Amino acid sequence: MAVTDVTPNGPGSAHDDSAPKVALLNNPEIRGWLFQVVLAVVVAYLAYSGWKNMNANLQAAGIASGWAFLNNNAGFAISQSLIEYNQASSTYGRVYLVGLINTLVVAVIGVILATIIGFLIGVARLSKNWMVSRLAAVYVESLRNIPLLLQIFIWYFGVLRLLPQPRDGLDFGFFGLLNNRGYFAPKPVWGDGAIYTLYAFIAACVIAWGIGRWARARQMATGQIFPAFWVGFAVIVLLPVIVFLAAGAPLTWDVPVAGGFRPKGGMTIIPEYIAMLVALSTYTATYIAEIVRAGILAVSKGQTEAAHALGLRSGPTLRLVIIPQALRIIIPPLTNQYLNLTKNSSLAVAIAYPELTSVFAGTALNQTGQAVEIISLTMLTYLTISLLTSAFMNWYNSRVALVER
Amino acid sequence: MSDRPHTAGIAYVRHDMLSEQPAPSTSRGIVAWLRESLFSSIPYTLLTLLCLYILYVIIPPMVEFLFTDAVWTGADRAACATQAQGGMQPDGWFGACWAYVGAYTNQFVYGRYPDAEQWRVNVVAVMFFGGLVPLLIPAAPFKRENIVFMAIVFPVATLILLTGGHFAVGGLYVPLLIAAVLVLAVVFAFAKLSESDPMPGLRSAGLLFVALAVLLFILGFDFGLRPVGTSRWGGLLVTMVIALTGIVASLPIGIALALGRRSAMPIVRFASIVFIEFWRGVPLITVLFMSSVMLPLFLPEGVSFDKLLRALIGVALFSSAYMAEVVRGGIQALPKGQYEGAMALGLNWTQMMRKIILPQALKLVIPGIVNSFIALFKDTTLVLIIGLFDFLGQIQSSYSDPAWSSPVQSLTGYFFAAFIYFIFCFSMSRYSQFMERKLDTGHKR
């Protein structure tokens, strides 16, 4: 059990009446308050003088302050934008949004990839196959001991930039083209009625959830087991496919064609994004792998033996006994890694992937000079993302946590 | 009982023990190991083959690039460029250019530190490793003296050696004197008001100010060293300076924050939590941006910080928040009985923390401190983004030199950087694992 509060006052403050009269300053409570007031005054003074200096300095340098610049025209191009952005008319506020979305795009995909790689490597390190476990160990030890920024540089300048020109790039046929201008992927073009497939998918998810609930209730009541997972899985896969085919398969692919200067058609994934994604996910995966390994090792062997003794086979043992307990240990540090990955995505500024730090705290700051507003907004954004993520993971953690005593 | 054994009807009975037999050949030796750990079932065999394939894809090209095709000697870029690129290598050649790394080694270590003054950096390095190694070996004697050396003598000597000393501190003596008088008066008044003996407080405050005055004198003293501005520092030197300053500054701040976070005083606890969570919630690069562009705005007119110093402040603030959490982990790991025992002995809060809690807690978190040092060491690379030349930044800046520019130059430089960082980080993580095993005294829950 954690020691929750360490009182600064030793024993003695409880018996006021019988205690001998002591000087006011020897009363630990008063002493504590005096100390806190002094601290608050010092902090307030520092903040005030910083504020005053800042205003004086800004005035001396002739830099405008305030948030009006967010409505000014930015006038620079951004190489990747998921929302509409154009160089001629978009504002700094738009730049912020584009940057934020690009950060989230690389962070969310990176988190998913890192989790998959991390779990695979973590399990592989525990494998009884000597080759597999050694290889996983080498992967973890080598990648986590090299700075992330260096890995980003290696992927970007050392690999993607050394790919051939578009003229003689790698051609994967339907799966697109890879050259030093990025990866050109086939782009899905949805026809009429394609939206029904999405509706069908949502409906299938709801049905699968319902089947799960019903199966659980029935098992509780009668003890009969229903293969809810596989049935739900089948519903989720089959229903959208049937609807998709019934609607006349309204999907065509815009496959990129190699051209002289740059490929035509398809969608472009810029090399900066690929470098960031690969570097972030492979690097964070090493930490996740160690967390997963520690989590699985922390579930005692007796749990497996007890589950076997109760007659569970190894599949259900893993699913119902080992993984739920391991997850409990894995989730808090895993949250930290997700946050680290999100924060590390700011390293993209070094290779000019247009995320928040790069376009907003970089280019926009250089153009406007409004350091205070821009840096504060950037920091607050990251802080908000961090707090939201940890709030969500805390909620999830409290759901899977062991309810003890 | 008759002499005849009851086994008369049985054809053969062994009367002596059999000697131990070796295990059957299928369950020992290399064959059994292979069968057990590589080919025990069909999926395992497939996995093993997959691993072998991965190794086959990765290892031979790496060996070719790094060793067999590499260029080890040469005077300029001609050695490391193909004929089509104006060099002397056959077309299609692709190998590491170690000659370039060799030509640049001095810059990678010292940056643009003047050649004639590099002995000062070497002296600092010798002092550092001379002081650190005995500190890291648990059995080595003179720990206390060593810590004093590393915590007080070494930083001051380093500062003077690296910058050249002879700081303009003449104007600080008077403020120091005023501060001394004020503090002594406050201590005296405080003691009088609380009806206790003022002497111990006065003595320690006085000693502190005498020490500060001595420090000022040393900093202002002209040792005859040529001044070297921080703009000329670079390479491994800057990496080490940032990482070490960060970790050394973060320890006391981190301990204070950790204690503050567990304090019963609401304002102190709140301030500590806000501070820690703020720095932990933002990326280091925004902190560096902040310290390089925003910090100067907060200072009064005329006061300006050196670029390196600004980065150091950012790094120190950032890492102290992480250090606080590491230290808090150690404090929380101590059983409650330690607190109760200390209180039962009549120790006050300061005594309890100094003599009972912190010594145990800090010992527990040595591996954690080493781990945050590794993280900080890797994070120092970020300073290249704000225009400082750390080890990686120095390597990057060398790419602009036309004398060595070739397509393999950047990859060679990055591999070299990766190798050096790996050596540092890997050995530190091994040390931290060693300490973890050594310190595992069963206190942790």
CATH number at residue A168: 1.10.3720.10
- Kindly state whether residue B134 falls inside one of the protein's structural domains: yes
The verdict on A163 touching B (C-beta cutoff 8 Å) is no
Task: Find out whether A180 and A274 touch, Cβ atoms under 8 Å.
Answer: no
DSSP line for A157-180: IIIGGGSPPGGG-EE-GGG-EEET
How many Å lie between the alpha carbon of A345 and the closest alpha carbon of chain B?
9
More confident residue, A63 or A111: A111
- Kindly state whether residue A125 falls inside one of the protein's structural domains: yes
pTM (predicted TM-score): 0.86
Task: Find out whether B69 and B95 touch, Cβ atoms under 8 Å.
Answer: yes
Does A135 contact B51 at a Cβ distance shorter than 8 Å?
yes
Does B297 contact A162 at a Cβ distance shorter than 8 Å?
no
Kindly report, residue by residue over A271-309, the tens digit of the pLDDT. Answer: 999 999 999 999 999 999 999 999 988 888 889 899 999
Does A386 contact B282 at a Cβ distance shorter than 8 Å?
yes
Q: Do residues A224 and A355 both lie within one domain?
A: no
Q: Do residues B430 and B300 both lie within one domain?
A: yes
Q: Do residues A227 and A337 both lie within one domain?
A: no
- Kindly state whether residue B64 falls inside one of the protein's structural domains: no
How many Å lie between the alpha carbon of A2 and the closest alpha carbon of chain B?
6
Q: Do residues B189 and B326 both lie within one domain?
A: no
- Total domains, chain B: 3
Q: What is the pLDDT of residue A14?
A: 45
- Kindly state whether residue A98 falls inside one of the protein's structural domains: yes
How many Å lie between the alpha carbon of B305 and the closest alpha carbon of chain A?
15
| Structure tokens belonging to residue A205 | 């998810």
Q: Do residues B260 and B348 both lie within one domain?
A: yes
Assign A244 a pLDDT band (cuts: 50, 70, 90).
confident
Domain region containing A36: 29-61
Q: Do residues B280 and B376 both lie within one domain?
A: yes
Q: What is the pLDDT of residue A402?
A: 65
Assign B100 a pLDDT band (cuts: 50, 70, 90).
very high
How many Å lie between the alpha carbon of B98 and the closest alpha carbon of chain A?
16
CA–CA dist B367, B370 (Å, integer): 5
* Side chain identity at residue A229, one-letter code: F
Q: Tell me which residue has tokens 């295990």.
A: B23
**With DSSP H G I counted as helix, E B as strand and the rest as coil, what are the percentages for chain A, rounded to 5?**
70, 5, 25
- Kindly state whether residue A12 falls inside one of the protein's structural domains: no
Kindly report, residue by residue over A367-401, the tens digit of the pLDDT. Answer: 888 888 999 999 999 999 988 888 887 888 777 76
- Kindly state whether residue B107 falls inside one of the protein's structural domains: no
- Total domains, chain A: 3
Task: Find out whether A30 and B270 touch, Cβ atoms under 8 Å.
Answer: no
Q: Do residues A263 and A336 both lie within one domain?
A: yes
Kindly report, residue by residue over A4-30, the tens digit of the pLDDT. Answer: 444 444 444 444 455 566 666 677 788
Does B51 contact A357 at a Cβ distance shorter than 8 Å?
no
Interface confidence: ipTM more than 0.95: no
Q: What is the pLDDT of residue A254?
A: 82
The alpha carbon of residue A51 and the mean position of all alpha carbons in its chain are separated, in whole angstroms, by 34
Domain region containing B198: 170-221
With beta carbons under 8 A apart, name residues in chain A contacting B236. none
Using CB atoms, pick whichever of B194, B285, B422 lies closest to residue A25. B194
Highest average pLDDT, of A160-174, B25-39, B121-135, comes from B121-135
pLDDT at B443 over 60: no
CA–CA dist A302, B259 (Å, integer): 39
Q: What is the pLDDT of residue A21?
A: 62
Assign B159 a pLDDT band (cuts: 50, 70, 90).
very high
Q: Do residues B188 and B288 both lie within one domain?
A: no
The verdict on B429 touching A (C-beta cutoff 8 Å) is yes
With beta carbons under 8 A apart, name residues in chain B contacting A39. 267-268, 271
Q: Do residues A151 and A293 both lie within one domain?
A: yes
Q: Do residues A265 and A360 both lie within one domain?
A: yes
Q: How many CB atoms lie within 10 A of CB B77?
A: 20
Q: What is the pLDDT of residue A6?
A: 47
Q: DSSP letter at B230?
A: G
Using CB atoms, pick whichever of B278, B282, B381 lies closest to residue A149. B381
- Kindly state whether residue B57 falls inside one of the protein's structural domains: no
With beta carbons under 8 A apart, name residues in chain A contacting B349. 6-10
- Kindly state whether residue B66 falls inside one of the protein's structural domains: no
Assign B138 a pLDDT band (cuts: 50, 70, 90).
confident
Q: Do residues B158 and B213 both lie within one domain?
A: no
- Kindly state whether residue B89 falls inside one of the protein's structural domains: no
- Kindly state whether residue A281 falls inside one of the protein's structural domains: yes
Read off the pLDDT of each residue in B226-241 and give the average, rounded to a whole number.
91
Q: Do residues A114 and A153 both lie within one domain?
A: yes
Using CB atoms, pick whichever of A40, A145, A361 lies closest to residue B422. A145
Q: Do residues A180 and A193 both lie within one domain?
A: no
With beta carbons under 8 A apart, name residues in chain A contacting B297. 53-54, 57-58, 371-372
Q: Do residues B205 and B260 both lie within one domain?
A: no
Q: Do residues B213 and B122 both lie within one domain?
A: no
How many Å lie between the alpha carbon of A219 and the closest alpha carbon of chain B?
34
Q: Do residues B152 and B238 both lie within one domain?
A: yes
Q: What is the pLDDT of residue A344?
A: 94
Q: Which residues, at least 6 apart from A299, have a Cβ–Cβ distance to it below 8 Å?
A: A321, A322, A325, A326, A329
- Kindly state whether residue A265 falls inside one of the protein's structural domains: yes
Q: Do residues A314 and A277 both lie within one domain?
A: yes
Q: Do residues A165 and A299 both lie within one domain?
A: yes
Using CB atoms, pick whichever of A148, A365, A383 lies closest to residue B281. A383
- Kindly state whether residue B78 falls inside one of the protein's structural domains: no
pLDDT at B137 over 50: yes
Q: Do residues A305 and A377 both lie within one domain?
A: yes
Kindly report, residue by residue over A138-189, the tens digit of the pLDDT. Answer: 999 999 999 999 999 999 988 888 888 877 778 887 788 888 888 888 888 8
Chain A interface, best mutation among B65, B289, B376, B428, by max A CB count within 10 A: B289
Which three-class secondary structure state does DSSP give residue A73?
Answer: strand
Chain B's closest residue to A4, CA to CA, is: B262
Q: Do residues A128 and A212 both lie within one domain?
A: no
| Structure tokens belonging to residue B230 | 């921080």
Q: Do residues A181 and A245 both lie within one domain?
A: no
Q: Do residues B270 and B405 both lie within one domain?
A: yes
Q: Do residues B178 and B255 both lie within one domain?
A: no
Does B421 contact A147 at a Cβ distance shorter than 8 Å?
yes
Q: Do residues B21 and B150 both lie within one domain?
A: no
With beta carbons under 8 A apart, name residues in chain B contacting A149. 381-382, 384, 392
- Kindly state whether residue A131 falls inside one of the protein's structural domains: yes
- What pairs with residue B233 in β-bridges? B111
